[in-house]
């Protein structure tokens, strides 16, 4: 299927909310089971084009990004430093920490408070590594990305939207670098 010069695919999954992804030029609608792609498109046309525009800007800006050269050991020391500082500051506890290469996200926090860090973060500047770790640890306090969650984030990172955009840019750069 084609939408404004983009070929696109539709994937139905057991999810609650639809989303749009654009990876390496391929547009993907990820929809809840039974959700019509035509209805999704008509209902969310302006949102879809806003999302496409954002992703196109990130792809363009990613071309100018320089990746950080850091060894696995240097990255692990940096990640553990931030984790330990933050759990002390936030007075929270986590169960286990895993460092592994992940395909779709920078990090995640399980319901068992296990923190998984994407090893690809070693290519990011320190301030983004710190931001990602803080973002994940905030999920111990507030599980969902709701207004309370973003209020906590903005308490430490006033311009978190700018950081979120940078993370998209770095993701695209790293994906294009085939690391």
Number of H helices, E strands in the chain: 6, 7
Going from the C-alpha of 51 to that of each of 54, 55, 57, 142, 175, the distances in angstroms are 5, 6, 10, 26, 19
* Helix/strand/coil (H/E/C) assignment for every residue in 25-62: CEEEEEEECCCCHHHHHHHCHHHHHHHHHHHHHHHHHH
CATH of 72-177, one of 3.30.460.10, 3.30.565.10, 3.30.2010.10, 3.40.50.2000: 3.30.2010.10
| H helical segments located in 63-109 | 72-90
| CATH 3.30.2010.10, the chain: domain bounds | 72-177
Alpha-carbon span 168 to 109, nearest angstrom: 19
Spell out the per-residue pLDDT of the chain, length 179, in tens: 555 566 678 899 999 988 877 665 567 889 999 998 888 888 888 887 887 788 888 888 999 999 999 999 999 999 999 999 999 999 999 999 999 999 889 999 999 999 999 999 999 999 999 999 999 999 999 999 999 999 999 999 999 999 999 999 999 899 877 66
- Tally of residues, the chain: 179
pTM: 0.82
């Amino acid at each position: 299927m084609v939408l404004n010069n983009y070929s696109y695919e539709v994937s139905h999954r057991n999810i609650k909310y639809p989303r749009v992804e654009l990876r390496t030029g391929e547009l993907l609608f990820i929809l809840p089971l039974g959700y019509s792609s035509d209805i999704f498109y008509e209902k969310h046309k302006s949102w879809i084009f806003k999302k496409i525009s954002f992703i196109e800007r990130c792809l363009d800006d990613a071309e100018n990004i320089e990746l950080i050269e850091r060894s696995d050991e240097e990255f692990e020391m940096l990640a553990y430093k931030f984790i330990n500082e933050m759990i002390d500051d936030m007075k929270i506890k986590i169960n286990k920490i895993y460092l592994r290469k992940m395909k779709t996200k920078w990090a995640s926090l399980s319901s068992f408070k296990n923190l998984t860090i994407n090893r690809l973060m070693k290519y990011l500047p320190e301030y983004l590594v710190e931001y990602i770790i803080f973002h994940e640890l905030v999920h111990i306090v507030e599980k969902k990305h709701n207004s309370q969650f973003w209020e906590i984030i903005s308490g430490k990172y006033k311009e978190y939207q700018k950081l979120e955009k940078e993370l998209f840019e770095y993701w695209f750069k790293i994906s294009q670098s085939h690391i």
